[in-house]
Amino acid sequence: MRVLALASTALLTALAGVVPGIPAAAAGTRVTGFIRVDQLGFAPAESKHAYLLSTTAAGNLPFTVVDGRGRTVLTGSAGGDRGPWNTRYPHVHLLDLSALERPGGYRIKAGGLTSPEFQVAPARLFAGPAAKALTFFQSQRDGADVVPGAFGRRPSHRNDRAATVYEWPTFAGDDTDVIKGELTPAGGQKKVDVEGGWFDAGDYLKFTHILAYVDTLMWAARRDGGGPEVAAEARHGLRWLDKMWDEQTRTLYIQVGIGAGNEEGTFVGDHDVWRLPEADDHDTGADRRHIRHRPVFRAAPPGQPISPNLTGRTAAAFALAAQVEPDRAKARRWLDRAATVYAQARTTNVGRLVTSLPFAFYPESNWRDDMELGGAELALAARRLGDPRAGAWLAQAAHWAGQYLTHEAGGDTLNLYDVSALAHRDLVLALRGADARGLAVGEQNLIADLKAQLEIGAARAGSDPFQAGAEYAQFDAVPHAFGLAATARLYRSVSGDPGYDGFGTRQRGWALGANPWGVSFMVGVGENYEKCPHHQIANLGFPKPLTGAVVNGPNSEDLFADGLGGHFEEMNHCPPDGVDRYAEFTGRGARYVDDVRSWQASEPADDFAAIALYALTLMSRD
């Protein structure tokens, strides 16, 4: 039976949010604009919203929702004006679809406009794009253990099995990755095996800082409801992370490869060449020696204290594997790895954190959240395995949580640079059932900060026409949106309060099409998704889509002031005509460009896909 047949006209009018005092628009009224909606869809009980972006005011404009056969299943009226997006589209109106609960595929029609299709389906709907994120990681695999997939991937960078360790290079400036002079081998260092892992983004560099975060989220996704295929991909990352930690010498290697060559032009780096990764091992160019034999760098000299952001998140990845690994002997091995890494942390006179070379690639400032996360995961793993160190790690996690709340809280939400939301939730789980007397924080302190992080996003959403909790005109808007979606579920899991569920749903929706550009920023999800990612494998395999990739999305329009630059000679031009079809939607200081040259907006990254994977996994279990 159709929804329309079940609801009275009065109820439908109330649900649609008719605006008092604004005359109802005639049914035949036509508007110029677009309907933006989450192109994946909604679970039946979720709140459901779409947005009418228009050139003229359209309050109370009638809308209908039709099924795949064109039958009307819901009617309503557009809500009040939420404010301007830009001068071309100065009106945004909310369309409330929450009464639509029957599973199926639907479109919205209003003022002569038609939306992309979206689904209403059980929560397992979200497992589909989560699986696509795993497909992306398979495309990102490096080394011998590759998955051919759509791009016919072949083994790459097998020379990484015997890589030379170098001292940190000197860069030509704080805002460049160009190196001064030659690289200097680290004294007394043997060759190291760093083959495997995942490429970090659209290039072929590999970073411990990123992979530890990604693997942490993958293992958390497996523990929190993801299927065995999540663990299979997480193990691929863990094998590489294990190589990057030398247990005997207490050395953590942080990076394989360099971004650019040197000022003198005697060698090039990864960002100077556009090619498939399997070409590197056999590239005989005189200036390609660091492409052919990629350099490796350490976080600190052997046995010396290591930047705590790195030790915390690396320990967390190992400890989460120990929580999930069914073989208890292997699980104890991962717990011991986590313990030795965690104990190596530099927690006094920390100075500038170590992330990548150059630091400007990933300029992190928080670290106490990483130490809280590492301690919480160690405590949970130790409890599972009956390890007597559980209490000590619980106390350390609580200490660092208190330090985070004192020194770092209030500025960020869940993403690569702040993992406190996951740390808080897991520390609450560790506190429950344990002797928590005398610890630096209690459950309510942690739950309150989870709520405070959601309020950061909710405050932004309240003044944004599309109810976005992330900042459009900053890097990483899309992963921040998925991070807020995940945090809403983490908060509910320990507080029992579903009050932010609707907010979390809207953040997922924003990332998947309910945004000013009408783009799903996850490739392969929805009708209109990112088509021209800044990604070498995908571009050279064009026009096949990089399924499951998550891109940065909109960014500050100032970053595009000098244009997109030229193409590498080897690049496929994408879009072929070079036209920016989203230019008219630039607004509020933010621009999105779907172009292979647009690294600022269209480059995918592992950390983006990992937080999307985690958020969608949590939502699929509702």
87 inside domain: yes
* Statement: residue 10 has pLDDT above 90: no
446 close to 428: Cβ distance less than 8 angstroms:
yes
| Between 21 and 32, the higher pLDDT residue | 32
SS3 374: helix
Structure tokens that stand for 148 in this block: 């051919």
Q: Looking at the structure, do residues 117 and 132 belong to the same domain, yes or no? A: no
- Which residue in the block uniquely carries the two structure tokens 């083959």? 195
* Statement: residue 7 has pLDDT above 50: no
Q: Looking at the structure, do residues 409 and 509 belong to the same domain, yes or no? A: yes
pLDDT at 14: 36
Decide which of 121, 154, 185 is a domain's last residue: 121
Closest to 72 measured CA to CA, from 104, 42, 40: 104
424 inside domain: yes
Mean pLDDT of 39-63: 98
Average pLDDT, the chain: 95
Q: What is the distance, to the nearest Å, from the Cα of residue 131 to the centroid of all Cα atoms in its chain?
A: 15
574 inside domain: no
Closest to 368 measured CA to CA, from 345, 336, 335: 345
Q: Which residue stretches of 496-605 are H helix?
A: 501-511, 536-540, 599-602
Q: In a 10 Å sphere around its CB, with 0-12 CB exposed, 13-18 middle and 19+ buried, how is residue 609 labelled?
A: buried
Sequence length of the chain is 622
* Statement: residue 23 has pLDDT above 60: no
599 inside domain: no
The whole-model pTM stands at 0.96
Structure tokens that stand for 37 in this block: 């909606």
Find all residues with CB under 8 Å of 613, minimum gap 6, and list them.
130, 133, 134, 217, 218, 221, 226, 230
For every residue of 337-357, DSSP letters joined together read: HHHHHHHTB--SS--SPP-SS
pLDDT at 12: 36
* Statement: residue 25 has pLDDT above 70: no
* Statement: residue 15 has pLDDT above 60: no
Q: Looking at the structure, do residues 135 and 89 belong to the same domain, yes or no? A: no
238 close to 321: Cβ distance less than 8 angstroms:
yes
Give the separation between CA 260 and CA 360, rounded to whole angstroms: 13
The per-residue pLDDT for range 117-149, each reduced to its tens digit, is 999 999 999 999 999 999 999 999 999 999 999
466 inside domain: yes
pLDDT at 84: 98
Q: Looking at the structure, do residues 354 and 408 belong to the same domain, yes or no? A: yes
Structure tokens that stand for 287 in this block: 């200036």
* Statement: residue 21 has pLDDT above 90: no
Closest to 470 measured CA to CA, from 488, 486, 487, 483: 483
Give the separation between CA 247 and CA 344, rounded to whole angstroms: 11
Q: Looking at the structure, do residues 95 and 22 belong to the same domain, yes or no? A: yes
The per-residue pLDDT for range 312-369, each reduced to its tens digit, is 999 999 999 999 999 999 999 999 999 999 999 999 999 999 999 999 999 999 999 9
371 inside domain: yes
Mean pLDDT of 253-267: 98
Q: Looking at the structure, do residues 109 and 134 belong to the same domain, yes or no? A: no
- Domain CATH for 49: 2.60.40.10
Query: What are phi and psi for residue 139, nearest 5 degrees?
Result: -65, -25
Mean pLDDT of 156-173: 98
Q: How confident is the model at residue 622 (pLDDT cuts 50, 70, 90)?
A: confident
345 inside domain: yes
Q: Looking at the structure, do residues 364 and 462 belong to the same domain, yes or no? A: yes
Q: What is the distance, to the nearest Å, from the Cα of residue 167 to the centroid of all Cα atoms in its chain?
A: 31
Q: Looking at the structure, do residues 373 and 452 belong to the same domain, yes or no? A: yes
* Statement: residue 188 has pLDDT above 90: no
Give the separation between CA 245 and CA 333, rounded to whole angstroms: 13
Give the separation between CA 298 and CA 306, rounded to whole angstroms: 10
Q: Looking at the structure, do residues 117 and 131 belong to the same domain, yes or no? A: no
pLDDT at 6: 32
Domain around 494: 126-514+606-620
pLDDT at 24: 56
| Single-letter amino acid, residue 525 | V
Number of domains, the chain? 2
pLDDT at 28: 75
Q: Looking at the structure, do residues 460 and 313 belong to the same domain, yes or no? A: yes
Q: Looking at the structure, do residues 53 and 140 belong to the same domain, yes or no? A: no
Q: Looking at the structure, do residues 114 and 177 belong to the same domain, yes or no? A: no
* Statement: residue 13 has pLDDT above 70: no
- Domain CATH for 272: 1.50.10.10
pLDDT at 274: 98
* Statement: residue 590 has pLDDT above 70: yes
String of b and e for 498-510 (b: at least 16 CB within 10 Å)? eebbbbbbbbbbb
Give the separation between CA 403 and CA 259, rounded to whole angstroms: 35
pLDDT at 521: 98
The per-residue pLDDT for range 464-505, each reduced to its tens digit, is 999 999 999 999 999 999 999 999 999 999 999 999 999 999
Work out the percent of the chain whose per-residue pLDDT is above 90.
94
Decide which of 88, 121, 154 is a domain's last residue: 121
Decide which of 121, 149, 173 is a domain's last residue: 121
Task: Determine how many CB atoms are found less than 10 A away from the CB of residue 462.
Answer: 9
- Mode of pairing for the β-strands spanning 62-67 and 33-36: unpaired
